[in-house]
Homo-oligomer: A and B are copies of this chain.
Amino acid sequence: MSSTYGENLKLSIFGQSHGPAIGMTLDGIPAGFRVETEKLQTFLNRRAPGHNDWSTPRKEADTPEFLGGIVDGFTCGAPIAAIIRNNNTRSGDYKNLKDCPRPGHADYTAQVKYGGFQDSAGGGHFSGRLTAPLCIAGGLCKQWLEEMGIQIAAHILAIGECGDNYFDPMDPEVESVPVDFPVLNPEAGAAMKELIAQARAAGDSVGGIIECAITGIPAGIGEPMFGGVESKIAQIVYGIPAVKGIEFGIGFDCACVPGSASNDAFTVLGGKIVTESNNCGGILGGITNGMPVIFRCAIKPTPSIAKIQKTVDILQEGNADLQIKGRHDPAIVHRARIVIDAVTAIAVYDMLAGRFGTDYFAKES
């Protein structure tokens, strides 16, 4: 495994779905940052499964216990460490996954890589549950970025054929993304929920596209060639299980537009240099240009479905049918957007910290 991320901060994620606990350590954060635990809990709650038609009925109490790095509500300079105990585990549901790998999951690749020693219960370290500690780290980074005037928000752009409005790339509505079911157009949201309910009824699942915007990020952030903004964000976003694509600005559409139309003209507005369009998604040569950063990522349908699927029996070396028991989400797109939000905050904080140094924020606090 390589569950460690970052140049200036060092994030380490640990734990397995059905182990004693999951958690994270976050090293390299200056002393003197305020930590608002209630705000963090509110953020974490949005990732946790809920009690409605479009989520799993499992109840997860994702309340982090901080073991280090915070004293009297402020960071103290030591690594921040937090854990979440696993207490609602049902290992019986997953018993045969080691021998009969679930299509679309990491069961088979883990078996090859770890030779049968992997923790297969609930997907082990590959479980979506491991996004909870990612959200602790990201929720903290988000708080510190907000104090600098940097906002990050994501919405569901599409689930199946149902599409939400795009963010205005010149001025994305980051403040007005609803907390509950994050779409800009409520009608699109209703249609998406209906699609999810249909998938549940059919014992199936749906995927989608999440669009994310970063506003208030200053020009000059990013360290090309290999530490550019796209590289940094793409690396961590692909750390989220289920992401299969990421594009910045107009992304794949740039294949169909001539240079004269895709280039964003510069202009002076209110004494400030801006671009007249934002096809590049706020990034030129891997460095922010002061415009909003915009990207989209593709989330595959939840691979755990109720329908019977074809797989193999590794022990018998033959084909087998698989019926996955337990409770599963017919869609994870709405939960994933919090994780996208979180990992983006981690990547942005890491890039800012490199530019301004470990002393920067502490001086401001």
Instruction: Give residues 66-91 of A contacting B (CB, 8 Å).
Output: 66-69, 71, 74-81, 83
Stretch at the interface among A41-49, A183-191, A239-247: A239-247
Measured in the bound complex, the distance between the Cα atoms of B107 and A36 in whole Å is 27
Contacts of A83 in B (CB 8 A): 67, 83
Number of interface residues of A (CB under 8 A): 153
Contact A219 B112, beta carbon cutoff 8 Å: yes
Stretch at the interface among A54-62, A144-152, A169-177, A285-293: A285-293
Measured in the bound complex, the distance between the Cα atoms of B78 and A273 in whole Å is 24
Instruction: Give residues 291-321 of A contacting B (CB, 8 Å).
Output: 296, 298-305, 307, 309-312, 314, 317-319
Known: A110-B287, A160-B255, A357-B354. A10 touches B19 (CB 8 A): no
Contacts of A75 in B (CB 8 A): 117
Q: Report the minimal beta-carbon distance from A106 to chain B, rounded to whole angstroms.
A: 2
Q: Within 8 Å of chain B (Cβ to Cβ): is A28?
A: yes
| Cβ-closest chain B residue relative to A15 | B68
Instruction: Give residues 1-23 of A contacting B (CB, 8 Å).
Output: 1-5, 7-8, 10, 12-16, 19-23
Measured in the bound complex, the distance between the Cα atoms of B114 and A66 in whole Å is 19
Q: Within 8 Å of chain B (Cβ to Cβ): is A122?
A: no
Contacts of A97 in B (CB 8 A): none
Instruction: Give residues 212-262 of A contacting B (CB, 8 Å).
Output: 219-220, 222-228, 230-232, 234-236, 238-239, 241, 243-260, 262
The 4 closest A-B pairs by CB, nearest first: A106-B285, A357-B357, A245-B247, A2-B227
